[in-house]
Structure 1
Amino acid sequence: MAKLNADPNFVLSKAEELKAFRDMLLIRRFEERCGQMYGEGLIAGFCHLYIGQEAVVVGMQMTIGEGDQVITAYRDHGHALMAGMDPKAVLAELTGRMAGASKGKGGSMHIFAPDLGFYGGHGIVGAQASLGTGLAFANKYRGNDRVCLTYFGDGASNQGQVYESFNMAKIWSLPVVYVIENNHYGMGTSIVRASANLNLSQRGLSFNVPGEQVDAMDVRAVRAAGAKAVEHARTGKGPFILEMLTYRYRGHSMSDPAKYRSREEVEKVKNENDPIARSRARILEDGHATESDLKLIEQEIKEVVAEAVDFAKANPAPASSELYTDVYA
């Protein structure tokens, strides 16, 4: 995996560093617990974990404000949490409970909270690229200054509708930032085998859409590149592509044994380039917190996740009468 240098002049404040650490840790512990609950049969259907990629959504969320929008693919738990959704509502949705964000009907891949600017979780590969472009078109049409962050993966970057979206977004100078979460593997295929051009940030060049590769295992680098891209889109300069070089530790989904890569490869990334470990080391080195301070944060996160688990387990499943509500023909 390529290692890019963060802007040496860009630093996070003490408050930003600690919040980023806490947010990444929340996603990590939440996802680890989801994996356990899936194994216990408490989560059914598909379940795609975000473990290893936490710095992407945490860093990008730091660049947007109220009224901005986020749309992503089916690996959406971390995006939902960072949009401000209550972990209890997210886990209740994953376990198919009535208090879930979509009353237990959407499940892992279709979490949705438009009141928070989060437009899902989408199960069709690449579909959210055109939907996110549509959200940006609505912003342009309404004359506001909102920006839409449109996430998709390296596998989806080969979909035709992605390029149609790039073209339209550039023609109309739409306020959209396309965030390609390049974790180096599609469902089970290395990007090396699936893509002719491995620099996905260049995918918009034929449409004059600028792009940049980012070391997305460093939340500072994500924050710095994200701020530049969001400003570009918000000031009427049109779309921008950010290729986030990241890595997922688990399989594509819970049903994927990930035999297409070696255990040594995964362990090397964990040991040398983990986003949370890098954040933790920097916080201690800069004197922003002590080991005891960080342990208190870790304990707090443990309690938040435990409360969400208890809440989800205790909440009832939707009644059979709910089967036909919120369904449109």
Structure 2
Amino acid sequence: MFFYLRNRVSLPLAIATSCLAGLPLAATGQEASQAACSERTLLHAKGTLNLRIDNDMFGGLDQDQGYSNGFLMSWVSPNLVNYRDDPCLPRIVRGLNRYLEFLQPGGFDEQNMIIGLGQMMYTPNDRRPSDLIPDDRPFAGALLLSLGYNARRGDSLRTSQIRFGMVGPAARAKQTQNAWHDLIGVDRFHGWDHQLRNEAVVQLLHERRTRVTRQAGADGWGWDLTRHWGASLGNFATYANTGGEWRFGLHLPDDLGTAPLRPAGENTSPLHAARNGDWSGHLFVALDARWVLHDITLDGNAFKASHNVDKRPFVADIGYGAAVYHGAWRIAFARYHRSREFRGQKDVPVYGTITIGRRF
């Protein structure tokens, strides 16, 4: 489904395929580099491969509207010596990093990187009309490649990220959604001919995360609280955001968060410790509030005439869920409630997300 592209490959997908193909080995074809990377035996020197699936079907309210579906494949690198020469990064990524030094935070005890490829689709409430629905959000699809940089010092994490790709038919969201709906036996949406037009998009993000407190007992049960604030700039989305996350469970991971749905929240630091072979897990509640200046999926194309709606300037998400760890594996499920994003929106969006990850 994620790569349902029918012989047509967009630039972001081509680049991402090159990046992701060598991630677990980091430097395929370079035996010396592989050996140098594999010599690191500490847990926080291991990378993590994640697959995340978002769908309003997981929200449990029989919705199929708004942020309707999304896929994200990402790789969180091991702890790195640097971003340009570390053999744990694929060669193509090391080359790109030479031109992205302005995104790479300084002043750290540890640093790592995340590479992701995601597809997202947005639809109005009614799937039946083939005509334009003027009082509901536009059909929109996005295909984005992301490069993120983390710098951690103690209980603080700084994250910078660049996302770039395409919005419009080139993102192939219509084809992906049709394939998914055919698979699960649900009627297709008929209005995709009115989706946003092709537009190259770029988004720069910066976020700072701090663990405010952490309490743990001798039996392994404990809780922690983190806060975050940040901003995004670009023709895909421009906003300022702030929020926090509370977690409670057995043997909480020392990773400053459970990777909530916001883009910069995908960036997590390498684990300092884990209980290989043992089970652990926790519950979490996360909140994020945004002051939105621009959202292409609501405001429409920046350089071409397209359908748009009157967006609301303030939007908030509250999410809650659970994460379970066993050995090198991790699975997390979350349910999100989002405030109405535009004037006249009928339903409050509710959707769920499932993330499966494995350390390598």
TM-score (norm 1): 0.32
Query: Which structure has the higher relative contact order (CA within 8 Å, separation 6+)?
Result: 1
Q: Which of the pair is proportionally richer in helix?
A: 1
TM-score (norm 2): 0.30
Larger radius of gyration: 2
Q: Which of the pair is proportionally richer in strand?
A: 2
